């Protein structure tokens, strides 16, 4: 099986939303629709695909700003980290930076906590609990495809911020170590910001991961 992944960089913080499907399938998933709902819906229309679900890695506003309009327009259920469900339902109370929003709240239909296997749009997707950047953060791994959608856990040459409420470096470091211990180096990392990378490349070159390698 080959997957078709479209990376759509949206909003003022240049967040990466991902449209994911089996190649040629008319069903798709949308991961972290952070902004520009009209653009995301246009791409769905142009591809002629039906959105089967919206998956969220976490609920920082730059990752969820387009959730409500896209969910309403498509009828797709929203999967949110369980302990962050209340944030999505009252999103503007958690936007701590001036000049952003307002955003529309959404009461997510489904929750994930890590450890689940989702069968959606013809894909089997493992949910991995990866807190540290946010308390409920999860990452999604497509079974058999060596593809991970890491949200704001791991970036090309960097890692997620830990100076935000509910974030801390030891927790994030443990989450990254868990990914390194359980997934092959060939795993393609589709991050929430910046470009694509692999776990192996980050293991070898990411300065933040060098700390994890210390005895």
What is the chain written as a DSSP string?
--EEEEEEEETTTTEEEEEEEETT-SEEEEE---S-HHHHHHHHHHHT-EEEEEE-S---HHHHTTHHHHHHHH---EEEEGGGHHHHTTGGGG--STT---------SEEE-SS-EEEETTEEEEEEE--SSSTT-EEEEETTTTEEEEETSEETTEE---SSTT--HHHHHHHHHHHHHHS-TTPEEEESSS--EEHHHHHHH-HHHHTTT--
Decide if 63 contacts 39 (C-beta within 8 A): no
Decide if 36 contacts 12 (C-beta within 8 A): no
Give 73's contacts (C-beta < 8 A, 6+ positions apart).
Answer: 37, 41
Q: How far apart are CA 27 and CA 44, in angstroms?
A: 10
Determine the pLDDT at residue 175: 97
Q: What percent of the chain has pLDDT over 70?
A: 98
Q: How far apart are CA 52 and CA 60, in angstroms?
A: 22
In terms of residues, how long is the chain? 215
Q: How far apart are CA 27 and CA 49, in angstroms?
A: 5
Q: What percent of the chain has pLDDT over 90?
A: 91
pLDDT at 215 over 60: no
pLDDT in tens, 26-61: 999 999 999 999 999 999 999 999 999 999 999 999
pLDDT band of residue 157 (cuts 50, 70, 90) is very high
Determine, yes or no, domain membership for 215.
Answer: no
Decide if 43 contacts 10 (C-beta within 8 A): no
Determine, yes or no, domain membership for 19.
Answer: yes
pLDDT in tens, 70-122: 999 999 999 999 999 999 999 999 998 888 989 999 999 999 999 999 999 99
pLDDT in tens, 119-139: 999 999 999 999 999 999 999
**Residue 171 maps to which CATH number?**
3.60.15.10
Work out the mean pLDDT of the chain and round it to a whole number.
95
| Structural domain of 65 | 3-210
Q: In 10 A of CB 41, how many CB atoms?
A: 18
Determine, yes or no, domain membership for 118.
Answer: yes
* Residues paired with residue 142 on neighbouring β-strands, in sequence order: 125, 147
Q: How far apart are CA 112 and CA 195, in angstroms?
A: 26
Domains in the chain, number: 1
The whole-number average pLDDT for the span 185-193 is: 97
Q: In 10 A of CB 125, how many CB atoms?
A: 24
């Amino acid at each position: 099986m080959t997957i078709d992944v479209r990376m759509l960089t949206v909003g003022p913080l240049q967040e990466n939303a991902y449209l994911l499907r089996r190649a040629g399938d008319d069903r798709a998933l949308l991961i972290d629709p952070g902004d520009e709902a009209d653009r995301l819906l246009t791409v769905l229309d142009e591809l002629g695909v039906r959105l089967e679900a919206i998956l969220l890695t976490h609920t920082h506003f730059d990752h969820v700003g387009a959730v409500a309009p896209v969910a309403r327009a498509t009828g797709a259920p929203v999967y949110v980290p369980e302990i962050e469900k209340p944030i999505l339902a009252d999103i503007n109370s958690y936007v701590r930076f001036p000049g952003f929003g307002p955003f529309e709240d959404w009461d997510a239909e489904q929750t994930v906590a890590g450890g689940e296997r989702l069968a959606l749009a013809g894909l089997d997707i493992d949910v991995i609990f990866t807190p540290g950047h946010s308390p409920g953060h999860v990452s999604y791994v497509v079974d058999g495809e060596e593809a991970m959608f890491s949200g704001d856990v791991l970036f090309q040459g960097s890692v997620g911020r830990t100076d935000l409420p509910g974030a801390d470096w030891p927790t994030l470091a443990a989450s990254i170590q868990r990914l390194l211990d359980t997934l092959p180096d060939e795993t393609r990392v589709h991050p929430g910001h910046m470009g694509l990378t692999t776990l192996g490349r980050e293991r070898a070159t990411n300065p933040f991961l060098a700390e994890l390698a210390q005895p």
